[in-house]
Amino acid sequence: MLQLERKKEENKDILRLIGEVDASNSILLDQSMQEILEQGATVLLIDGTELVYISSAGLGVFMSYLDDFSERGIRFAIFGLNEQVNEVFKILGLDRLIAIAPDLSTATRMTHES
Amino acid sequence: MIKTSTLPLGRISLLLAIVVWLALVLVDLVRIFGMLNNLDSGISEEVTWILEILFFIFVYLVYRHIFWKTRQSDFLTLIWRGVSTGLFAASAGLLTELIYYALGESKIGTDPFLKNVFYHINFAWTSAFLIATTLLWKHLILYQKNKQVVNQWQVFEFSMAGALLFVFFNHNNLDYSFLFGLVILLVISILLAVNLKWIPYLNFKEKWKTLLFLFLILLCAGFLFYRVLDSGNEGRVQINLTDNLFLMALFGFVFIYGLFSFLVTLFNLPTSSVFEQKLTEAINFQKLSQSIQPEESEEQVLDILLDSCISASFSDGAWIELNPKEQVQIKNPLRILDESTRAELTKLIPQEKQSWVYTSPTEIPQPQTIRLVHPNYKSALLVPLVVNKSILARIILIKEVKEGFNKEMMSIIGTFARQACISVENHRLLNQAIENERYQEELKIAQRVQKALLPLKLDHPDSFDICAYSNTADEVGGDYYDTYQVDENHFVLIMGDVSGKGTSAAFHMAQMKGVFQSLIQLGLRPAEFMKKANAALSKCLERNHFITASIFEIDVVNHTFCHARAGHIPTLWYKANENQAEFISVEGLGLGIVRNLTYKNHVQEKTFAYHSGDILVLLTDGILEGRKETGEQFGNDRLKKIVEANPQKTPIQLQQEIIESLHQFVGGDGMIDDDYSLLVVKFK
C-alpha cells in the first residue's frame, strides 16, 4: 500500500510517501514525480518519514529521474528515511548521487547550498 | 381400431377380451333361451355381470397398452385414435340399423337371438370407443400434470372402479342410488375437464383439425348414447348390458371433456397467434442464450438478435449500428429498409441518443422509444447493447404507426438484448481464457528457458565447496549467479540482481548473463569488470531499471579473494579463526544508475586473505527482505546468527538451513515478494 501526498511550500514541492513502494505501485510514484516535473518544480523534496519499505523497483523510479534533475537544474533531496530504508539507499550507492537528509530543515539547507 | 401389438401383453389382453366377449354372448344366449322358454338355464345374472366386468377390464388393458406404446405421439395422432374407434363403433351401429331396416318385420328381423348378437357387437364397440376415448382424455388431462391433477384423476379412477362393481349392488336398476352415483361421477368429470393445458400448444392449423376430430368424437358419442337409450327404452333386449353405471359415467365423462375441449379450442383460435408468437420468442431466446460456439462469431449473435427483435415487435424496418471502436463487422446491418431511408431516419434521431458514451455510469441503458416525424415511419425503438460496460452496438427498430412499441415488446426486446450481450461477453471471456492459457504456456516455456540460463554445474577446485539456490517470485525472475574458472588457480564467482521482478527483470537478466559471460573472458580485475559491465548494461537497460552485482575473484594458491560490489547486498563472510561473520564492506554503485564514464568513481575493489573453514554467503535482497505478516524483515542479523551457529556444516547443509529459517520466519501468511538467491562457498 502506498499513499502519496503532495504539498507546496514556497518554492519547494514536497512529496510525502506513506507506506510501501514496491513493483506493483512504483508506477504511482513515477506518475506523481512526472506531474510535479511537468508543473515546473525547481526544488523537489521527498518526505520519507512514513516510508516503511522500498523495493528495487521503487529505487528505479528515483534513479530514472536523476538525469532529468541535473539537466533541468532541479534540486532534489530525500529526507526522514528510517534506518532500514536508508540502508537500502546506501547499499545501492544512491546516497552518493542523491542528497539524503535526516529532516526537512537539513534537506532544505542542502538544496539551497547546491 | 385395434392394433395387434408385438408385445404379448397387448395381444393376450386382446385375445382374452375376445374370449370373454364370446363367452358373454354364449351365456346371454343361453339365458335368453331359458327366459323365452321359461326354463331355468342354471346360469344366474351374476355370471353375465362378471363377464361384462371382465370384458371392460380387458378392453381397458388393450387400450392402455396401445396408449402406452404411442405415448410420445402428438395430440392429433392420439385424438385420431379416439375418432377412428368412434367411427368404427358408430358405423357398426349404423350397419345394424340398416340391416334391421332391410329385414323389416320378417322372421329373422324379429329373432331375439340374432338381435342379441347384434346388441352384443354394438355393446363391444361402444365400450371400446368409450374406454379408448377415456384413456385419450386421461393423457390430455395429465399433460403438464401436477400433484393435484394426478390425485383428482386417481379419485376418478377409483370411483370408476366402484361404478364397475356397482351392478352387484343395484342389480341394473335405474333407481336413486344409480342416479346418485352418476351425479357424483359427472361432478368429478366436470372438475377434471378444466385441465386443458394441451390446447394452447396447438398451432392454428392443428386447432382446426382438433376441432373437427372433437366434433366427430362428440357426434359418435351422441349417436351411440342415443342407440343405447333407444335399445333400453324399447325393451328390445332381454338382457341389458348398457344400463350400467360404469358405461353411463364413461359416456358422461367422454362427452363432458370432449365438449369442454371443443369449446376451449374454439375460443382459443383467435389468440393462438399470440401464443405462437410467444413460443417463437422463447425459441429465439434459447438461440441467443446458447453460448456462441467456437466456430460462430459475435456477428451471428447480432444477426439473430436483430431478427428476433423484429419478429417480437412486428417492426417495419430495422438496422444495427456498431460502435466504431469495436472491431465487429456485420454483413447485413439493414432489414427491410434501404440505405437512403436509413440515412433519413438517422437524422431524425436526436444526437444525444446516438452517443456511444454512457450517460450515467451506474445504470445500464435501457431500450427507449422515439417519435419520428417522417412521412412513412412514425415511431422508433433504440436498443443499446452493452457489453463489458461499453456500448457495443445499437439496434434501431422502426414502425409505421405512432407509439408502435408497447411495454411488453420493450421488455421482451430488452431481455433479448441482455441475453445477446451475455452471449457476446461469454464468447469474449472464453477467448480471453484461451489466450490466457496460451500465455501461461508461454510463461512455462520462459521459465524453462530461464532456468537454463543458470548454471547446472558450478566450476570450483577441490580447495573449496560451493552450492547455489535460486527461486523466483513470479514465473520468471531477475536473479543470476555463475562461476567461471579463469585459469588453474583463479576462479570467479558472480551474483547479479535486476531491479524489479517478473518478465521485464527476466529479460534484463538474460542480457546481464550475456554481458557478464563476455566480460569474464577478458580476465578483468573486479572493479574494471564492473566499469565495463556498467558501460555495456547502460546501453541496454530501460531507464528505470538497474542491476546490482557482486564479483569475487578467488586465488586458491595465495588464499586471497579480490572483491568488487556494484550496489549489491554485501556478502557475509564467516571467519573461522574468529568464530564470527561480518558483511564485507566495499563501496560500489549499482550498474545502470550512472550511465556515463563517471561510474569509475563509484566502484572500488578490495583484496582479502581467507583461511580454511571460512565461508562466503552471496545473496540477493529477496532473502533479507523476506517479511513476516507484521512487516518485520528477515534481516542481516538473523542471517549472520545462522551462519555463526553452523560453521561446521557443508555449504549445501548451510544453504538448506538458511532457506528453511527464511521460510519459517516468513510463515504461511508472510511473503517473499522478490526473487531470492543464495551462493554459499566454504574454503577447505
| Strand order through the sheet with B390-399 | B334-335, B317-322, B390-399, B379-387, B368-371
Helix axes B526-538, B502-520, angle to 10 degrees: 130
d(CA B609, CA B559): 6
- What is the model's pLDDT at position B268? 87
Helix (H, G, I), strand (E, B) or coil at A28: helix
Q: 10 Å Cβ neighbour count for B440? A: 11
| Residue recorded with cell 438517422 | B346
| Residue recorded with cell 328390445 | B236
Q: What's the complex ipTM?
A: 0.91
Kindly state the DSSP code that residue B142 receives in the 8-state scheme. T
Chain A hits for B569, CB-CB cut-off 8 Å, are: 91
In order of B171, B516, B547, B679, the CA distances from B622 in angstroms are 104, 21, 14, 13
pLDDT digits (tens, 9 = 90+) for A20-62: 998 888 899 999 999 998 888 889 999 999 999 898 889 999 9
- What is the model's pLDDT at position B339? 85
The distance in angstroms from the start CA to the end CA of chain B is 108
| Strand order through the sheet with B615-619 | B464-471, B676-683, B615-619, B572-575, B580-583
Higher-confidence residue of A41 and B481: namely B481
Q: Provide φ and ψ at B218, rounded to 5°.
A: -60, -40
- What is the model's pLDDT at position B5? 47
Name the nearest CA neighbour of B209 among B63, B69, B78, B67.
B78
Name the nearest CA neighbour of B478 among B443, B445, B453, B448.
B453
Neighbour-count burial for A10-21, b at 16+ CB within 10 Å, e otherwise: eebbbbbbeebb
CA R_g for chain A? 13
Cα angle value B34/B36/B41 (rounded, 5°): 5
Higher-confidence residue of B10 and A106: namely A106
The answer to whether the pTM exceeds 0.80 is no
Report helix, strand and coil shares of chain A as percent, to nearest 5.
45, 35, 20
Measured in angstroms, the CA of B546 and the nearest CA of chain A are apart by: 7
C-alpha cell at B238: 332381454
Mean pLDDT to the nearest integer, B466-473: 91
pLDDT digits (tens, 9 = 90+) for B601-640: 999 999 999 999 999 999 998 888 888 888 888 989 999 9
Task: List A residues 64-93 in contact with B (Cβ-Cβ < 8 A).
Answer: 64, 66-67, 84, 88, 91-93
Q: Provide φ and ψ at B7, rounded to 5°.
A: -80, 135
C-alpha cell at B633: 524483515
pLDDT at position B4 over 60: no
Chain B hits for A60, CB-CB cut-off 8 Å, are: 499-500, 544-546
Task: List B residues 646-675 in contact with A (Cβ-Cβ < 8 A).
Answer: 673-674
Mean pLDDT to the nearest integer, A65-76: 89
Chain A hits for B545, CB-CB cut-off 8 Å, are: 60
Task: List B residues 522-581 in contact with A (Cβ-Cβ < 8 A).
Answer: 543-546, 548, 566-570
DSSP B417-457: HHHHHHHHHHHHHHHHHHHHHHHHHHHHHHHHHHHHHS-SS
